[in-house]
Amino acid sequence: MDMVVLNNGATMPMLGLGTYALYGRECERCILEALELGYRLFDTAQMYGNEKEVGKALRHGGMPRGKIFITTKLYRPSASYARAKQGIETSLNALQLDYIDLLLIHEPYQEAEEMYSALEEAYQNGRLKAIGVSNFSAARYKALSCSCTTIPAVNQVEAHVFFQQRELLKAMKAYGAHLQAWSPFAAGKKDFFNNHALRSIGLVYGKTPAQIALKYLIQMGISVIPKSSHKERIKENIDIFDFCLQEEDMRTLQTLDRGKTLFGWY
């Protein structure tokens, strides 16, 4: 597994399991299967409504806490300093953890600066090992960074071969921040898994279009959190660390970028 060192020295896997829309026993099963297959990063959020299941599965998995990286996110009900403080405790209790490896503000709420102050406080107290944001534009990230003392370590955003976020990646690197991709398969939009370029390059390496798409982002320096409820797909998604894309293939995949979101609400 490739790792990235965040701007505060914390180490994070470059690939993890996303848990959006995974609930109950299915969520627990997927996490346990992922653990068996070598996953060590698990991404959840208060908005997903599954923090309890994520925490329960990880406890049952028996992996030492120090070998697991858990990310969660605060959302609208935590949009103030006081509510964010409570939201942090809510997530810790739901996950049944003493600390969270990475806590993000889920969206660029108007109250993000207030919320982030609560994150900084919990970070200084050791309750959070790293803090950051999600779905922030370069301008919004800059505004937040100018108002805080702990530069956000991660910005988790939509990123995939059709929306590669190159300018945002460049902006984040200027702050020493890391870009992480949610929905690296674009939720299957634009016939993603049958894309000619992904399929053709995959044939060269003996890999699937999904594996090529993930490897491309990782070689760009963007970590990924693909979600699946199928064990064979969970296994497929992590089986990408035994090859490297050649520069010619990287250039070909760069041409797929359309420079705009595929999600209307975003």
From 20, 23, 39, 48, the catalytic residue: 48
For residue 110, give Cα distances in angstroms to 15, 133, 168, 253: 30, 13, 20, 36
Pairing assessment for the beta strands 131-134 and 154-158 based on DSSP bridges: parallel
Structure tokens at 191: 């016939």
Q: Using only the alpha carbons of the chain, give its radius of gyration.
A: 18
The set of residues, in sequence order, having a beta carbon less than 8 Å from that of 104 and lying 6+ positions away, is 45, 71, 72, 73, 74, 131, 132, 133, 134, 154, 156
Q: Are 50 and 30 in contact (CB under 8 A)?
A: no
48 among known catalytic residues: yes
Tell me, rounded to whole angstroms, the distance of Cα 243 from its chain centroid. Answer: 22
Residues annotated as catalytic (active site), given as ranges: 48
